[in-house]
Amino acid sequence: MRKKQNVYMSKKMLKFEIFVDVQDKRWEDNIAHLQALIESSKNALLEVVQNDVWFLNKPKNFSINLALSDDKTVHALNKEFRKIDKPTNVLSFANVDDEFFEAELEQEQDISLGDVIVAFETMASQAEELEVPFKDHFCHLCVHGMLHILGYDHMKDDERSEMEALEIAILKKLGIDNPYQE
């Protein structure tokens, strides 16, 4: 349920933070300059989608919580919230889907858009299996999770095509190859 609005707000005016919670030390051991990588991913994402996500044009302080976790934690969350009894690479819990989001947007200055949780072991094994650099796959999953937080989805074919095209465009800005190319 994304609404489009043709109002432009410069990136200088947009306040958008990623609060990172490193829950597993292996993340820091495997990605040099972790915070800068996350910030670059966020900036590339905003460059591509900012004018298409209706609420980003409001003068608010937006944030996303990014937890760099492990399979055990993600498995438990996946089981509890999606009824899938196994870990996955990334989970997103978007507040934009909440029935009270629009009211909060009107009343509050600080808007938490939701939570993204990435599982270290699953992400690392996928990167190895796909033969892509660890940091590239990490950026892809961060972008994927943040797009979910902004209201994008991939349950239907047209949604999947739109979301994949956005991921490809964002990753290209980061110098990362198309992850869907065969």
Domains of the chain are 15-173 (3.40.390.30)
Please tell me the pTM assigned to this model.
Answer: 0.89
Question: Cβ of 80: how many Cβ atoms within 10 Å?
Answer: 9
Of the candidates 118, 112, 80, the residue with the CA atom closest to the CA atom of residue 96: 112
**Which pLDDT tens digit goes with each residue over 49-85?**
999 999 998 999 999 999 999 999 999 999 999 999 9
Return the axis-axis angle of helices 134-149 and 157-173, rounded to nearest 10°.
130
Q: Which of 6-20, 83-97, 103-117 has the lowest mean pLDDT?
A: 6-20
Which residues partner with 91 through β-bridges? 117
Q: Please tell me the distance from the alpha carbon of residue 4 to that of residue 7, in angstroms, as a whole number.
A: 9
* pLDDT for position 2: 38
Residue with tokens 């509890």: 80
User: Which residues have a Cβ under 8 Å from the Cβ of 84 and sit 6 or more positions away?
Assistant: 78
> Residues of the chain with pLDDT > 90: what percent?
80
Q: Please tell me the distance from the alpha carbon of residue 99 to that of residue 102, in angstroms, as a whole number.
A: 8
Position 11 pLDDT exceeds 70 = no
